[in-house]
Chains A and B, each alone.
Chain A
Amino acid sequence: MPPPPIAIRVATEWLSARARWQPLEVVFWLVAFSAIWLLPERHLILTEIAWLGLFALSLDLILGYAGIISLGHAAFFGLGAYTAALLAKYGIVNEPVLAMVVAGLAAAALGFATSFLVLRGSDLTRLMVTLGVALVLRELANRYGWLTGGADGLQGVTIGPVLGMFRLDMFGHTGYVYCLTVLFILFLLARRLVNSPFGLSLMSVKGNPLRASAIGISVDARLVAIYTVAAGYAGIAGALLAQTTAFASLEVFSFDRSADLLLILIIGGTGYLYGGLIGAIVFKFMQDYLSQLTPQYWPFWIGLVLVVIVLVGRERISQWTGPFRRFAAHLSWRTLRRRLTVSPGEGH
Chain B
Amino acid sequence: MAVALETVGLVKRFGALVASNNVSLQIAKGARHALIGPNGAGKTTLINLLTGVQKPTSGRILLDGDDISDKTTHERVHLGIVRTFQINQLFGDLTPLETVGLAVSERRGQGLDWWRVVGSRPDLISEVVEILDRFHLTDVIDKRTAVLPYGKQRLLEIAVAIACRPRVLLLDEPAAGVPEDERHEILAAVESLPKDVTVLLIEHDMDIVFSFADRISVLVNGALFVEGSPDEVARDARVKAVYLGEEVADA
Contacts and interface: CB of A to CB of B under 8 A. Distances in A.
Interface string A138-163: 00000000000000000000000000
Interface residues of B, number: 50
B74 A207 contact: no
B89 A214 contact: yes
A215 B163 contact: yes
B128 interface: yes
B129 A210 contact: no
Interface string B87-128: 001111111011101110111001111111111101001101
B142 A14 contact: yes
B102 to A, nearest CB: 6
Contact of B102 (A3, A11, A200): A200
A193 B114 contact: yes
Dominant secondary structure at the A interface: helix
Given A15-B97, A214-B82, A216-B77, A8 B118 contact: no
Interface residues of A, number: 36
B46 to A, nearest CB: 16
Interface in A182-208: 192-193, 195-201, 203-204, 207-208
Contact of B106 (A195, A199, A216): A216
Best-buried of A11, A192, A208, A216 by chain B (most CB within 10 Å)? A216
A185 to B, nearest CB: 15
A13 B142 CA distance: 10
B43 interface: no
A193 B110 CA distance: 14
B133 interface: yes
B137 to A, nearest CB: 12
Contacts of A2: 126, 130
Given A7-B129, A213-B73, A214-B77, 17 more contacts: A1-B130, A8-B126, A14-B97, A15-B97, A19-B119, A197-B105, A197-B114, A200-B101, A204-B99, A208-B89, A208-B91, A211-B85, A213-B72, A214-B85, A215-B102, A215-B163, A216-B74
Contacts of B118: 15-16, 18-19, 195-197, 199-200
B73 A207 contact: no
Interface string A10-35: 01111110110000000000000000
